[in-house]
């Protein structure tokens, strides 16, 4: 067989094997016996062995895994992977439906897409021209880890999409999980080999996905259901979520067979109750159901709040509870000095994991529930929620049970502990003198969503604080490579890289800088609102509570926290030092400023930009008062179009929406 014949036959076998793979794993309806599939796979392997240049990323032979990787690289999602709000009661579900109808101005019922909430690991799959080119974990919602080699080994993940009509670039979101039978079989195999079995299918799926050796992943019984999309460029998107899932199924993805369309909160509640009854019969674990407004146009109209969509919610099944005994209580100190009581428990198996610690929240909760050391208590865990002590069984209280008392001094630095009247939380007053607060404050300052100092992570900061090399955020910018390379697992090259990253982080944005300061209850969204509304740091530092409360998202509590933060001379000194050391950002116009042509506008970004990343363009637009969305609708004011923009430009033309080039955008933005 010459190369031309081999190429033709390899393409033919790839198409056949992918087709039969889909019939077997996705549709559970094989057309050929296993022996015939194995024969074709061996033939393709022989061709690729003879002609290695014919190996393609969509070849079924690539599902067997590869040699171990050194580490996982970062992967940035084209569209953020958002989290969902939760409902735990029928009343909360009704409230969600009411908010949706009020947001749409709808007098009648709204249609929702309903599906089970799988208990696995979320992934983002990037397809270009129908071929899988990258797979990544959710991570922080913006950036995850590149696990492409591992995901290629999962039979229900198409390496090339079937049929036609798919977009030129598309992100597919799905849940990777392990069926109960496969989980039991895997654990039995591990036990037979003398290993430690996985606690539950979710841990097994997540652990299997994060193997540096993808051959290990290939040996695990993983599967995936697709549940949504992120980026979509080229060709029109389906008009509804149920239609989208049906389209993904036609292109070769497995989707939940229990997806259905329901009407109003009554339909949602009926579906929830039906899935509760069906739950014990399912071949995989679920921990609730998910509802999404079915209409894509209505989703766009509702938009987002913080990092969650207004048009979707997860309705969780009741939390699981178990009995155990409180052996001791310790107080942990957080970034803001808050002391959190943590119960040390007799280990108990709850909700699929062994729990040995549980939060007691604060002293008010301890007093309200009358919790004592030695008590027998109910412990609750639901999904990823931190285990908590729900209630005490006083009839089982031993005679020597001890009351829990708030310490008078900080368990870390011995500073006084203060409990402000009217507040539930007690705090250490040591501030940055307290190493616990110092470490947490510095970790927050350097984190990805704040100053984004690559390489300056938790373990390195802990070492620097313990070595008395870091006391305040400003000290970070005076670190030298010679100091860093003296630390554990830090060679000269690594030290130089960290110093370079520190220098690179000096040019940031005002919202990031405000967020990085770690002011109590000032998150990313509030930091952006403050920056847009007030326009500059000096204005923020000098603002009184009344001025601050005129900012969206800022109430009296947050305003008070901001005023108290900047009233502290040492906080103002740190800010001054940071600026003196070269931390800078571009000026931001105030919200509604007349020199911003984007203030109050809805903007969509599409295509590849030459002068900046799409994230940078989004931050700049938001700083100019714009709201950036993912798809074009009649409410869109501008489309910022880079190279290879895809279908969004065509949609904009159809709707008469203005299209702005990158060069024009930068000129309009005075950038």
How many angstroms separate the CA atoms of 363 and 169, rounded? 52
- Which pLDDT does position 261 carry in this prediction? 97
Specify whether the CB–CB gap between 527 and 623 falls below 8 A: no
Q: What is the CATH number of domain 85-316?
A: 3.30.470.30
- pLDDT for residue 83: 85
Which residues are registered as beta bridge partners of 447? none
DSSP 167: -
Return the pLDDT at 306.
62
* Contact indicator for 562, 548 with CB cutoff of 8 Å: yes
Residue written as tokens 């604080």?
A: 465
Q: Walk across the sheet containing 602-606 and list its strands.
A: 627-629, 602-606, 638-641, 658-661
Hey, do 3-64 and 510-585 end up sharing a CATH topology, with the first three levels equal? no
Tell me the sheet residues that pair with 193. none
What DSSP element (H or E) covers 549?
helix 545-549
Collapse the DSSP code of 347 into the 3-class scheme (helix H, G, I; strand E, B; otherwise coil) and give the result: strand
Asked whether 148 and 66 are in contact (CB, 8 A), the reply is no
Q: CA 524 to CA 364: how far, in whole Å?
A: 29
- Cα separation, 117 vs 536, whole angstroms: 43
C-alpha distances in Å from residue 217, one per residue of 123, 211, 214, 223: 15, 6, 5, 11
510-585 fold: DNA polymerase; domain 1 (1.10.150)
Q: Would you tell me which CATH number, out of the four given (1.10.10.10, 3.30.465.10, 3.40.50.10190, 3.40.50.2000), belongs to the domain 602-668? A: 3.40.50.10190
Domain 431-505 listed as CATH 3.40.50.1860: no
- Can you name the CATH fold of 320-403? OB fold (Dihydrolipoamide Acetyltransferase, E2P) (2.40.50)
pTM to 2 decimal places: 0.60
- Interstrand relation of 388-392 and 376-381 (parallel, antiparallel or unpaired): antiparallel
Look-up: residue for tokens 């129908």? 130
Q: Residue 526: its pLDDT value, please?
A: 87
pLDDT per residue over 431-490, tens digit each? 767 888 889 899 999 998 899 999 998 889 999 999 999 989 999 999 999 999 988 878
- State pLDDT tens for residues 553-584: 788 889 998 998 898 888 899 999 999 999 99
Give the pLDDT of residue 594. Answer: 42
d(CA 157, CA 174): 10
Instruction: State the CATH architecture for 3-64.
Output: Orthogonal Bundle (1.10)
Measured CA distances, 439 to 32, 386, 392, 477, 575 (Å):
60, 22, 35, 16, 18
Number of C-beta neighbours around residue 216 at 10 A: 15
Q: How far is CA 356 from CA 339, 341, 389, 629, in A?
A: 19, 14, 11, 43
Question: Contact, 573 vs 599, CB < 8 A?
Answer: no
Q: Which structure tokens are listed for 593? A: 């400023």
- Residue ranges of the chain with pLDDT lower than 50? 592-595
Per the DSSP assignment, residues forming a β-bridge with 122 are 175
> How crowded is residue 305: how many other Cβ atoms within 10 Å of its Cβ?
11
Q: Give the residue numbers annotated as catalytic, written as ranges.
A: 117
b/e per residue 31-66 (b: at least 16 CB within 10 A): eeeeeebeebbeebbebbeeeeebbeebbbbbbebe
Q: Where are the domains of the chain?
A: 3-64, 85-316, 320-403, 431-505, 510-585, 602-668
Comparing CA positions, the residue from 51, 61, 56 lying closest to residue 17 is 61
635, 220 Cβ separation under 8 angstroms:
no
Helix (H, G, I), strand (E, B) or coil at 613: coil
CA–CA separation, 642 vs 660, rounded Å?
Answer: 9
pLDDT at 592: 47
Euclidean distance between CA atoms 613 and 616, whole angstroms? 5
- Encoded tokens for 50: 């003879």
**67: enclosing H helix or E strand:** none
């Amino acid at each position: 067989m010459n190369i031309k014949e081999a190429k033709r036959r390899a393409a033919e076998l790839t198409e056949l094997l992918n087709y039969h793979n889909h019939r077997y794993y996705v549709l559970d309806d094989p057309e050929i016996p296993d022996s015939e599939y194995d024969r074709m796979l061996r033939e393709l392997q022989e061709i690729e062995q003879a002609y290695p240049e014919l190996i393609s990323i969509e070849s079924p032979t690539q599902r067997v895994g590869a040699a171990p990787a050194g580490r996982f690289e970062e992967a940035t999602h084209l569209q953020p992977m958002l989290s969902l709000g939760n409902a735990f009661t029928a009343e909360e579900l009704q409230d969600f439906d009411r908010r949706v109808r009020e947001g749409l101005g709808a007098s009648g019922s709204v249609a929702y897409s309903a599906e089970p909430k799988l208990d696995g690991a979320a992934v983002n799959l990037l397809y270009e021209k129908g071929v899988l080119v990258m797979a990544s974990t959710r991570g922080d919602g913006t950036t995850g880890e590149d696990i492409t080699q591992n995901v290629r080994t999962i039979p229900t993940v198409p390496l090339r999409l079937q049929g036609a009509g798919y977009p030129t670039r598309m992100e597919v979101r799905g849940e990777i999980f392990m069926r109960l039978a496969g989980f039991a079989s895997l654990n039995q195999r591990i036990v037979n080999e003398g290993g430690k079995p996985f606690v539950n299918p979710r841990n097994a799926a997540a652990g299997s996905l994060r193997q540096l050796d993808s051959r290990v992943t290939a040996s695990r019984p993983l599967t995936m259901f697709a549940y949504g999309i992120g980026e979509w460029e080229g060709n029109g998107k389906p008009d509804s979520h149920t239609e989208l899932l049906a389209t993904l199924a036609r292109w070769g993805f497995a989707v939940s067979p229990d997806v259905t369309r329901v009407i109003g909160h009554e339909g949602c509640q009926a579906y929830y109750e039906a899935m509760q009854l069906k739950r014990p019969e399912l071949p995989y674990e679920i921990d609730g159901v998910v509802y999404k407004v079915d209409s894509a146009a209505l989703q766009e109209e509702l938009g987002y709040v913080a990092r969650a969509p207004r048009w979707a919610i997860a309705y969780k099944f009741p939390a699981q509870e178990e009995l155990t005994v409180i052996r001791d209580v310790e107080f942990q100190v957080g970034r803001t000095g808050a002391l959190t009581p943590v119960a040390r428990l007799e280990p108990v198996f709850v909700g699929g994991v062994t729990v040995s610690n549980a939060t007691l929240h604060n002293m008010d909760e301890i007093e309200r529930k009358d919790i004592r050391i030695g008590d027998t208590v109910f412990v609750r865990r639901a999904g990823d929620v931190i285990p908590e002590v729900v209630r005490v069984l006083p009839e089982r209280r031993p005679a020597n049970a001890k009351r829990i008392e708030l310490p008078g001094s900080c368990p870390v630095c011995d500073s006084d502990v203060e409990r402000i009247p009217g507040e539930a939380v007690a705090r250490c007053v040591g501030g940055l003198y307290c190493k616990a607060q110092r470490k947490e404050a510095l970790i927050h300052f350097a984190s990805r969503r704040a100053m984004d100092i690559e390489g300056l992570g938790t373990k390195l900061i802990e070492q620097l604080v313990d070595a008395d090399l870091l006391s305040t955020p400003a000290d970070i910018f005076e670190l030298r490579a010679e100091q860093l390379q003296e630390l554990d697992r830090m060679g000269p090259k690594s030290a130089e890289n960290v110093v370079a990253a520190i220098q690179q982080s000096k040019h940031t944005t005002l919202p990031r800088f405000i967020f990085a300061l770690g002011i109590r209850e000032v998150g990313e969204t509030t930091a952006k609102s403050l920056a847009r509304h007030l326009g500059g740091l000096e204005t923020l530092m000098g603002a009184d509570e009344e001025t601050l409360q005129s900012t969206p998202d800022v109430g009296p509590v947050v305003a008070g926290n901001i005023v108290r933060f900047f009233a502290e001379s040492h906080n103002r000194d740190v800010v001054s030092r940071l600026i003196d050391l070269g931390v800078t950002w571009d000026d931001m116009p105030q919200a509604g400023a007349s020199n911003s042509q984007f203030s109050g506008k809805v903007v969509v970004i599409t295509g590849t930009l030459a002068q900046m990343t799409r994230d940078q363009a989004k931050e700049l637009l938001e700083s100019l008062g714009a709201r950036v969305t993912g798809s074009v609708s009649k409410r869109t004011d501008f489309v910022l179009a880079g190279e290879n923009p895809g279908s969004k430009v065509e949609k904009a033309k159809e709707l008469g929406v203005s299209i702005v080039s990158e060069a024009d955008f930068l000129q309009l933005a005075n950038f």
